[in-house]
Amino acid sequence: EAVPAPQAFCRNLCHRHQLFINFRDLGWHKWIIAPKGFMANYCHGECPFSLTTSLNSSNYAFMQALMRAVDPEVPQAACIPTKLSPISMLYQDNDDNVILRHYEDMVVDECGCG
């Protein structure tokens, strides 16, 4: 029978958090025409061994968790992005040329233990 985990504990588990990158904060608004910013997100939280299988973990994370049980010097699996998506950016370079290109792996869509 499943025992419900305490609420505070669940909040600390590995999951995706919202992070909006505002180019103005970086001073990049002077050369990036669009977008003005984007929701990049980030991954944060714990990857306890007991929940390795339920936290979108890789096989590697599972093996690492097993090894950690044997050898405590092996670090715990980390909370990392497991699915990323690109964004397109429209900007001006130093020669005032207008450039449009897309950049891979800019947005965190999903997180997991790895």
Partner 1 sequence: SQFQESVFLQFLGLDKVPSPQTVQPVPSILKKIFQDREAAATTGDSHGLCYIKDLGIQGNILRLLLDQGRFLYPKKPSQASSCLQKLLYFNLSSITDKEELTMAQLGLDLGPTTYYKLGPELELALSLVEEPHVGDWPVPLPGKMLVLQSVPWPQGVVHFNLLRVAKGWRNNPWKNLGLLLEILVKGNRDVGVNFQLQDTCARLRRSLRASLLVVTLHPEQCHPSSRKRR
Contact residues: partner 1, CB under 8 A: 26-28, 30-31, 33-35, 85-104, 107, 109
Instruction: Provide, rounded to whole angstroms, the least separation between the CB of residue 30 and partner 1.
Output: 7
Pick the closer one to partner 1 by CB: 54 or 97.
97
Tell me the C-alpha to C-alpha distance, in Å, between residue 21 and each of 1, 27, 41: 43, 11, 9
Task: Compute the residue count for the chain.
Answer: 114
Pick the closer one to partner 1 by CB: 61 or 107.
107
Beta bridge partners of 79: 113
| CA nearest neighbour of 108 among 39, 50, 35, 62 | 39
Instruction: Provide, rounded to whole angstroms, the least separation between the CB of residue 11 and partner 1.
Output: 27
Pick the closer one to partner 1 by CB: 11 or 102.
102
